[in-house]
Each structure stands twice: as structure tokens, then as C-alpha cells.
Amino acid sequence: MSTAPPPLPSADHERRLHPWSWLFVLLLQLRQYLLPLVALLVFGQRGDRDPLWAQLGPLIVIAVLVLASVLQYLSYRYRIGEDGISIRSGVLARNRREIPFARIHNVVVHQNLLHRLFGVAELRLESAGGNRPEAEMRVLRLDEALALEQRVRHRSPAPQVDAGRTDDGTPPPLPETDERHLLLRMLPGEVVKLGLLSNRGWVMVAAALAALVQVVPRRSMDAFVEQGGRQAFGYASGLQPGISGLLLVAAAVLLVGWLALRALSVLLALLRYYGFELSEQQRRLTVSSGLLSKVRSSVALRRIQAWTLSETLLQRWAGRRQLRIDSAASQTHDENQQRGLRELAPLATPKACDALVRHLLPQVQWPPAHWQAVPLRGSWRLCITSLWLTPLLAAGLTWRWGYVGLLVLAWLPVALWTARLQMARIGWHLDGQHVALRGGWWRRWWRWAELDKLQALRLSRSPLDRLLGTSSVWLDTAGARGDVALCLRYLPQAQAAEVLQTLGAALARRKLRW
């Protein structure tokens, strides 16, 4: 995908989408109805006994989808003005939408393999309000999509600051320039390493099995599993390998399956992150990546609400971390669809992640020089489920198999030990610029937000908190949908009240500046 800035389009008459737009809308609809159509073709036909309308059912559905796609193309108009975009759509129900450039938080330019063959791209304009994109244009010429992205970048309002210092005494944001700075680039070797260190293959296999269970009738699935099991056991009995041979065969099958899943994870990582580049221009971050399907997404730096660093055990052993953000446009209307720019560094060294944070947030000290710890006396609360479930499980097993069931109680000291390690990892930091917290033992994470981005505060106490004299302070930001909540947990009651007062004062100063 070319990144050269095309000339900005001027305001003129209404425009149509690309002439092949109806085809891409049709393909999208066919993909959504693919499984029902396949099920209708495979399991819904009973031969010549079916009436004619039933035999032609799939063709009728496809014809209706083609007609709907053509009508959608003919009824879709857009006009690019000086301050926003005007969109008209609909055949029976006419809709007109005015989208100011200032409301657009994120611009996504998407190109799959078919888009690249036709020289077109799909454009999505996203904002903080609502659960859907403000506009989805399927499809535009690539140069028109890039020109519209450039227009949004130029027309979005820049934050107004004084020449010296801001109201709270901090240095003003860096001046905007037209120069593009490359902040991070992932080489193919790093993308392969990302696939090896992730579990994307497991997720894909689980999703495929779930879809298969929903489409294939249960009788056919049970018959297939039963027949396959009989053949496998019959083949194994004929070989007569013995116990050691069976263990070797089982280990070989597990190893082959593990290698296949890792290879699938690497393939998925290459398809998504190949050519990953993070760049900065006019205080706006842009990420482009993809092997067959190219995606280019951008978000203004001031729209970022919260930051998250994380590392799994495998990533920690490999000396790598992941940097994500929550932006005001990162809300989702579908659990399987992710909006907004989320990943600034899918995989990078800790030094590179810290340097990236310090560059993008020069007013924030990162990493913090000192972390506030939480009391360890209540660490047992992190394994409270194990504390009551393990004795019940041990009692049931002992009643069924005798004293051997008491071996389950050996899990209790392990659970208490891991809970104490996890509690020891919890920490928080608060200064005049940002609030940060950390946690996790097996999977470590760090999460923080600037004080100016806080929207609401909440102090909560559970029955366990009242028993132990602790409280939790919850912090809300716009579009905060991270893996972990922005919450200071297990603070002593007096300390939690003090933190709440400090953050409340910072929130009040922000409202006064507005």
C-alpha cells in the first residue's frame, strides 16, 4: 500500500463509490451467509422430490443479494466539504449523515488481495461515540481513500497551548510537522517469533471446531467421531505395540499436533503483521501491516486514553513485550470485531517499548522510579476459590477411592504460594502527570493513563475488603477496553481515600481548564 500523500480533494459535487463497489458488498454478504448456504446445499436437498422453489433456493438467495448490493451502490452518495463529509444512502429509507472531521478519531484503510487486484481500498471512519463506525465506504479508489485520510489528518483540530507552559506547569506538546517519522518496524524474523510465542493457532482451531459443530448435524458428527475412533483403535490393536509403544505413539501425535499449531500461528502472524510499521506524522500515529490483506490505521496521539505493556512467560524468556493502547474509538459492537488502532508494538524488546513510551509521552516518567506495594496479609483472597473447592473435591475423592483422594490437598500450599507471589507483584504509582499500576505473576502487565484522560472515579469495598480493611479505586477513561481493568486494588482504606481525593482534585482542575 502506497503511503505517499496524495493531493487533497476539494469540495465539489456528490460522488459515487467505485463502480465495482457492489461486487465487494456482494462478496461480504456471501461471506456472512456462506455457512447457511452451504448447509442448505448439502443437507437441505432431498432430490427430485423437492419442489422447484426449494431446488432453486440458493440461486434465489444469491440473486436477492446481488440486487441488494447493486441498489446499495446506486443509492450511496458522499460529498467532501471543508469541515466534514456528507453521506446519503438508502433506497426505501433515505438517510443523510453529516460527519465533521473533528469528530473522526480513527481512519482505517483496508486492502485485501482482491482490493489490491482492482486498485481499490475500503475506508472506515471511526469516532468515540456509538458502537459502529461513522462511515464504511466499500470501496474507493486507493488514491481517493488515501486523499480522504490525508484530509481528515489536516482538518482535525490541534490542541491549543501557550508558547511557554500549560496550565499545570508541564511543557506543551511537541509542535506538529509534516515530516513522517518511522518509530518501529518489524522484520520478518520478528513476525515469525511473534507467531511462535503466541497461541493464535489454538484460537483458530477452536473457532473452526465451534463453527463445525454449529453447521454439521449432530448425528453426522457423532457417526464420524465413532467411525474414526473405531478405525483408529482397530489399527492400533492390529499393530499390538504394547504400553511403551502406545505411549510413544501418543507422544508423537501430540508433538506433531503442537508443531502444526505453532506453524499455523506463524502463518497467521505473517498474514497479519508482515511489513508492520509504526510511524508518526503531525502528532498522529499510523500503523500499516499485512501480507495479503493490507491494513492502514491511524489515530491522533491526543486520542489515546490508556496504555498497556504485557509479557507472557514465553515472551519474558525471549526478552520481548507487547505495547497496546486504548483509544476513544476502540469500542466494539461485535465481540469478534476489533475497532480502532490497538497495537503499537506487537512484539519488541523491553528497551524498545520503554523508549517508544518516553518518545510519545515526554512529560511522563516511564518506567516509574518507585512502585507503591500493597499489603501481603490478604494474599489468600486471590486463591479463595481453591481454598473452599479443594477440600470439597478431596472429600468426594476420598469417599469414592479412599485415602488416595487426600493427595488433592497438596494443591492448597501451591495455591497459597502462587497467590502470595501474585500479590507481591501488584503495585501502583501516582504523580502529577499519570497513574500507573502493575500486576500479574505468570503473565505480567503494566497499565497507566494520564490524569487528564480520566473521566470518572469510583471507590468500592467488597465484604472481603471490609473484613481486611481495604478498598479499590476504579478509574474510567473513554474507550478503555484493555485486557486488565484500570483499578488500584487492595489498598488500605485510609490510603484509598487519600488517592481518591488526589485524583478527584486532578479531575476538578481539568474541568476548570475546560
| Residue 195 CB burial class (10 angstroms; 0-12, 13-18, ≥19) | buried
Q: Please state, in angstroms and rounded to a whole number, the distance separating the CA atoms of residues 228 and 233.
A: 9
β partners of residue 263: none
pLDDT of residue 312: 92
Instruction: Look up residue 477 and give its three cell numbers.
Output: 477513561
Beta pairing partners, 471 = 491
- Locate 421 and state its grid cell: 507471589
Element (H, E) at 78: strand 77-80
Edge to edge, the sheet with strand 95-100 lists 77-80, 84-89, 95-100
Q: Which residues pair with 135 in a beta bridge?
A: 125
Is the CB of residue 444 less than 8 Å from the CB of residue 424?
Answer: no
What's the confidence (pLDDT) of residue 230? 62
Burial of residue 442, with CB atoms counted within 10 A of its CB: 0-12 exposed, 13-18 middle, 19 or more buried: exposed
Task: Give the three-state DSSP class for 182.
Answer: strand
Are 394 and 405 contacting, i.e. CB atoms less than 8 angstroms apart? yes
C-alpha cell at 353: 517499548
Give the count of beta carbons closer than 10 Å to the beta carbon of residue 370: 8
pLDDT for res 131: 62
Please give the Cα distance from 216 to 211 (Å, whole number): 9
On whether the CB atoms of residues 101 and 152 are closer than 8 A, the answer is yes
How far apart CA 207 and CA 410 sit, in angstroms, is: 35
For residues 273 and 203, is the Cβ–Cβ distance under 8 A? no
Are the C-beta atoms of residues 39 and 214 closer than 8 Å to each other?
no
Length of the chain: 514
The phi and psi torsions of 54 (rounded to 5 degrees) equal -75, -35
C-alpha count within 13 angstroms, C-beta hemisphere, residue 179: 6
Give residues with Cβ within 8 angstroms of 514, minimum separation 6: none
Residue with cell 512484539: 347
**C-alpha cell belonging to residue 383:** 486463591
Contacts of 185 (CB under 8 A, 6+ apart): 276, 277, 278
CB atoms within 10 A of CB 248: 12
**CB-facing half-sphere around the CA of 82: CA atoms within 13 A:** 0
- DSSP label of 282: T
Cα dist from 169 to 161, 166, 253, 363, 504, whole Å: 12, 5, 63, 11, 19
**Placement of cell 500499516 in the chain:** 288
Going from the C-alpha of 414 to that of each of 380, 386, 409, the distances in angstroms are: 11, 10, 10
Alpha-carbon distance 137 to 124, whole Å? 6
Beta strands 277-281 and 135-141: pairing type? unpaired
Grid cell listed for 51: 419442489
Other C-beta atoms closer than 10 Å to the C-beta of 417 total 12
Backbone angles phi, psi at 489, to 5 degrees: -95, 155
Asked if 378 and 385 touch (Cβ cutoff 8 Å), the reply is: no
DSSP-assigned states of every residue in 100-128: EGGG--EEEEEE-HHHHHHTEEEEEEE-S
State the DSSP H helix or E strand holding residue 495, giving kind and residue range, or none if neither: helix 493-513
Cβ-in-10-Å burial (0-12, 13-18, 19+) of 488 comes to buried
| Tens-level pLDDT at each residue, the chain (514 residues) | 544 544 544 555 788 888 888 888 888 877 776 666 665 555 555 555 555 555 566 677 778 888 888 888 888 888 888 788 888 888 788 888 888 887 787 888 888 888 888 889 998 888 765 567 778 888 888 888 888 888 877 765 444 333 333 444 343 444 444 577 899 999 999 999 999 998 877 777 776 766 666 666 666 666 666 666 666 666 656 666 667 777 787 788 889 888 888 899 999 999 999 999 999 987 889 999 999 888 888 888 888 889 999 999 999 999 999 999 988 655 544 434 445 678 999 999 999 999 999 999 998 889 998 999 999 988 999 999 999 999 999 999 899 888 888 899 999 999 999 999 999 999 999 988 899 999 998 899 999 999 888 888 999 999 999 999 999 999 988 766 656 788 999 999 999 999 999 888 888 876 555 4
pLDDT of residue 358: 93
- Which residue matches cell numbers 508541564? 170
For residue 75, give the nearest of 96, 106, 103 by alpha carbon. Answer: 96
